[in-house]
Structure 1
Amino acid sequence: MIRIFICTLFTFSSLLLFSQEIEVVNGSDEGEEVPFAIIEDVPTFPGCEELEKHLQKNCFQTKILKHVVKNFDANLANELGLPSGKTRIVVMFTIASEGVVTDIRARGAHERLELEGIRVINALPKMKPGKLKGRPVNVKYTLPITLLVEKTTKNEETKEEVINKN
């Protein structure tokens, strides 16, 4: 059985954030991308709208965490035959100035884990966009997901072994 270790999920996420990138379009900053760690007004996850500004960042991160824990197929790591211990997937995405999740990318120990991370993030709901100087901007976010792959004992059989016996 795999347990998702999320305690460090958000603690170190600011260390993995990309530096600020600004794309200037016809003298405006419509394509501006701002890292989550330095955004003035964070994107607002549904259910966090009524909170004070200083509490919305924590609410956003908590809601993302709950979404990942609920929707990520944690058993996938065991099914892939990965060595026991911790394995990590890093999912990077942008919350666009329209409030939708775009530009989802993942890095991990196995391509199927990366695809699972992308699938879960792609299922996030539309949000109220983040703002900089009162204007909606694209917000870059990096989400590390840590899984624990447990050793299987001799008494436990894999799905393939059960199928092959029948």
Structure 2
Amino acid sequence: MKKFLVITCFLFGGIAAAQAQQTSPVWPGCEEVEDQSKCFNEKLAEHVRNNYEFPMKGNEYIRGKVTVSFDVTENGEVVVKSVEGPKPEVNAAARKMLEKIPDMKPGTLNGEPDTRNFTTTYQF
């Protein structure tokens, strides 16, 4: 019986630990929206559309694929971690666009501010 009680305590303790409360960062303008994660993704996509400036070579736009990684820190600041792709001009334009992401309310883990990493690939 004692073993059963110990196993039960570990089981319920593990379930409680696995159910940590986590929230996404809140992009400015998404504070009152029910699905803030969806709003974050929509605002990020809008930011990319409005702020990415295609580099040019002569009269032609330089296009390319980049993988970007950035953090939203526990202070709500956006820190670009990496921008990787085969075309340096596209990488530089993507980095410049990411650096314009506004500060926001940070994500939380169990009620405490927490740094979140975002990694995605764009085809420009």
- Shorter-chain TM-score range: 0.7 to 0.9
Q: Which runs of 5+ in 1 are unaligned?
A: 1-38, 148-166
Q: Distance between the aligned counterparts of 2:46 and 2:92, measured in 1?
A: 19
Residue number in structure 1 paired with 2:51? 71
Q: Which runs of 5+ in 2 are unaligned?
A: 1-20
Conserved 8 A contact 1:104-1:121: no
Mean Cα displacement is larger for which, 92-101 or 105-114?
A: 105-114
Which structure has the larger Rg over C-alpha atoms? Answer: 2
Letter in 2 for 1:46: P
Conserved 8 A contact 1:89-1:106: yes
Q: Distance between the aligned counterparts of 1:113 and 1:43, measured in 2?
A: 27
Write 1 or 2 for the structure with the bigger share of helix.
2
Cα deviation 1:5-27 (Å, max 9, x = unaligned): xxxxxxxxxxxxxxxxxxxxxxx
Aligned residues: 102
Q: Distance between the aligned counterparts of 1:103 and 1:122, measured in 2?
A: 7
Classify the secondary structure of the residue corresponding to 2:23.
coil
Residue number in structure 1 paired with 2:121? 144
The answer to whether the aligner puts 1:47 opposite 2:29 as a matched pair is yes
Letter in 2 for 1:65: A
Identity of aligned residues (%): 27
Cα root mean square deviation, aligned:
1.9
Please give the TM-score of this superposition, normalised by the length of structure 1: 0.57
Cα deviation 1:89-126 (Å, max 9, x = unaligned): 11100000000001431011211111111111110111
Conserved 8 A contact 1:76-1:113: no
Please give the TM-score of this superposition, normalised by the length of structure 2: 0.74
Q: Distance between the aligned counterparts of 1:74 and 1:141, measured in 2?
A: 22
Classify the secondary structure of the residue corresponding to 1:93.
strand
Conserved 8 A contact 1:104-1:122: no
Letter in 2 for 1:142: T
- Post-superposition offset of 1:75: 5.2
Letter in 1 for 2:66: I
- Post-superposition offset of 1:74: 3.0
The answer to whether the aligner puts 1:118 opposite 2:95 as a matched pair is yes
Mean Cα displacement is larger for which, 68-77 or 118-127?
A: 68-77
